[in-house]
Chain A
Amino acid sequence: IAGITQAPTSQILAAGRRMTLRCTQDMRHNAMYWYRQDLGLGLRLIHYSNTAGTTGKGEVPDGYSVSRANTDDFPLTLASAVPSQTSVYFCASSEGQGGYDEQFFGPGTRLTVL
């Protein structure tokens, strides 16, 4: 592994199903983030974690949950998917907790909820 990886690459999901998007980084970065990207809206922060064991809510947290059991992994869970959660999801990490640190992005997960 080099950098930050996400799985799956893409997924089609029935509404009401539970889904976990996986994110792993091998850079030993402290902070990790989940964004969704929708056409015309840009990247919006869903949840973040400044360090292992802590998480916080971003701009659009409703319907999503996260955990940060260790430094490397930061999964995003949709408890009961709805069509409005159709989007491209990007995980990112940065060395420090400050927003002035460069964020490194994973390749993204394209999720379609029908």
Chain B
Amino acid sequence: GQNIDQPTEMTATEGAIVQINCTYQTSGFNGLFWYQQHAGEAPTFLSYNVLDGLEEKGRFSSFLSRSKGYSYLLLKELQMKDSASYLCAACSNDYKLSFGAGTTVTVRA
């Protein structure tokens, strides 16, 4: 089976930086996704990494190390609206996503 691990909760102050780590073990690998999910809403796509390295997209960046089975999502200049759950998902060799349980980020003023 697939195994996706990420922390349950993180708290940070408005304007700060938070890094959410994710480790994965899958049958084959076809990329790593990050989704954002606000309470009571649907997940929305944030990023996709398939090659090693850092992908930057505005205040959000995502990093992948395939050899270590590791990814992180970096949220910079935190805003109150960034309070949400962040879902790590790995794509295995059958092209299906396996999701972690999600990391709830709380941004405090």
Is B truly associated with A? yes
The number of residues on chain B lying at the interface, defined by a beta carbon within 8 Å of a beta carbon of chain A, is 24
Contact present for B44 and A43 (CB under 8 Å): no
- Chain A residues with CB under 8 Å of B98's CB are 45, 59
Q: Is B64 an interface residue (CB 8 A)?
A: no
- Cα distance, A58 to B91, chains bound together (Å): 13
Main secondary structure of the interface of A (DSSP, over half): loop
Q: Does A103 contact B (CB under 8 A)?
A: yes
For residue B52, give the distance in angstroms from its CB to the closest CB of chain A: 16
- For chain A, give the interface size range: 20 to 34
Which residues of B are at the interface with A, using a C-beta cutoff of 8 A? Answer: 4, 30-31, 33, 41-45, 48, 50, 87, 89, 91-92, 94-102
A-B contact pairs, 25 of them (CB 8 A): A35-B99, A40-B101, A41-B101, A42-B4, A42-B87, A42-B100, A43-B43, A43-B89, A43-B97, A43-B99, A44-B99, A45-B97, A45-B98, A59-B98, A90-B43, A98-B30, A99-B92, A99-B95, A100-B30, A100-B50, A100-B95, A102-B48, A105-B43, A106-B42, A108-B41
